[in-house]
Structure formats: C-alpha cells, structure tokens
Structure 1
C-alpha cells in the first residue's frame, strides 16, 4: 500500500495516470504532454509508476508502451472501501460523526468510541442522547458544544440529571 501512495504523491505522476486512462501511450507520446520538464524527469516518473505497480510497460520492438494496471486501482479501492461505505451525511457538514451505519443506529446503546467521536466532531445529531462532563472544570456540555476539552478528561453521562448528580454544573455556552 505504501508503494501505491508513493506513486500518487507527485502531481506529474497523477497526470501520467490521467493520460493513460484515455488510452495506452508510448513513452514518447507521454513525454509530448510535458513541455515544462525534461524527458529524463518524465521517464523517471514513468519508472516510479511502474515500480509502484500503477502502470505496466509493454515492449514492442523499440517502442515502450505504458498502460494502467487495473489491479493497483482495485487494491486502492479495497483499502478505501471501509471509509467510502461510511455514513455520507457527514459529507454535507464540516463535521459530523464518520461511522459505519452498523456501528450506531438511533435507539441503540451508545458506545464510548461513538460518543467520543460525536463530541470531537461536535455533531448536533447526538445532542440530548448523552452529555460530556469535563473532570478538570466540573462542567458538563452537549456533544455539539464549542468547548474543546481533552478527551482523557471527559466522562460521558446518559442524562443531564446523571451529570448533575455527580457534581457537574451545566455549561453556560451550550446550556444543556
């Protein structure tokens, strides 16, 4: 996987991949698209793409043709699939909990990772489902509060009354 990312790290190499997406090209044709860098530099980028597995080189007489290696794209897709299959509602906000639908369904008990991520992302969808109390300040807040406590100083409570019972006072910013 590291090689795949190394291959994508340079914008010139990504441009080469875009060119080869249209059709296989020989090395001279690829070079012709890059007037601002030397032929040797383009050849080095092509070599890196081949070493990383993004392209294959086919030797036909004196000509070398580059073409995309489909296996590399599927390997990257498989790695990204866990992230791409997550809940898409957070794509429309600056923040939001980025969880698989199977991890949390409304009405199911909240786990520590879900509550922590909801607090860190300040997700308003979780307001009222739990409250986060900060040990160092003695204050409890809604998950969407603008306060930024250190996660290791936070305790989660299912209800407002539970937080009050444990000696925490309500936040004056978010008014839970």
Structure 2
C-alpha cells in the first residue's frame, strides 16, 4: 500500500463521511474535467427542441396503449424534450423514469432524431423494449459533434442524434454499452 500512496498519480481527496481516506487518480480528475466541459458546452446549446405536435402524438400513442404520464413524468418529459442540449432526470427506483423515456423516444423519433442508448451490459430499460436496439435513460445527451463516435459503432453522432443513458448511478464506463 505504501507504493500506491507514494505514486505521483494518486490524489488524496480527504476523508469521507465515515472518516475514511478517499483517493482518486490524476487521470480520473482529467476525465471528470473533460466531462464537465462537454456538459457545459452541450447545456449551452438550444437546438434540440421537439415540436408540440410530436410530443402530443407520442403522449397520445402511449395513452392508446394504456399508459398515461403522471404529472411528474409529464414535467420530466417536457424537460428532456425541450430545447436544451443537455438534460437530466433523477429519481428513485420505480418512479417511471424508464417508462417516460419510452414516450420521449417516440417524440424524438417523430422529430427525426436518431435515438441511441447507454445501458448496463445485457440490461434494457422497460420503456425501450418495444424497439430492438433502443434503450432509455436518466441522463440525456444531444450530440452535436463526433466526439463520442467510438461509442456509437453504427453511425457517428451528429446534430440529429439523441443519446440517453439509464441507471446512471450503476453505470461504469468499462461495462456499459451503446446501442
């Protein structure tokens, strides 16, 4: 352990709530800084709105299948299908985030976006099971550049792509997949 602590790559973060020493690496700090910059850049864009007619059609189709969005789900739906370049929905398990994302996927596709998802290997959220190869999520990225191209094996992302990731609290870059 002394060799690890002596490494110039190790960065001490201080003690956590249980009074345990916490550490990270310089590489992880750099990754987090890049993610923060990319999030700020995407968040400043306002070019991904979904027209009201596509939102209404998606909600109507869901209701025809027997699924009605709750008030909170509707607020989240409006938030992520709005014009921001980056939007997030956070909530407790079982509150309908994935189901709401299934409706949002229909709205995005109605607007002409290609929807790509990130998920734990072998796991697909319920709202995206209707279409093979689609997944849902709590984290939403609208890609305006090819930066994440290696994560989209079939097509390089463009301004016409929407990326979603579900269960982000359990996602780790090493074991997640884009589809």
Q: Which has the higher contact order (CA 8 A, sep 6+)?
A: 2
Q: TM-score, normalised by structure 1?
A: 0.23
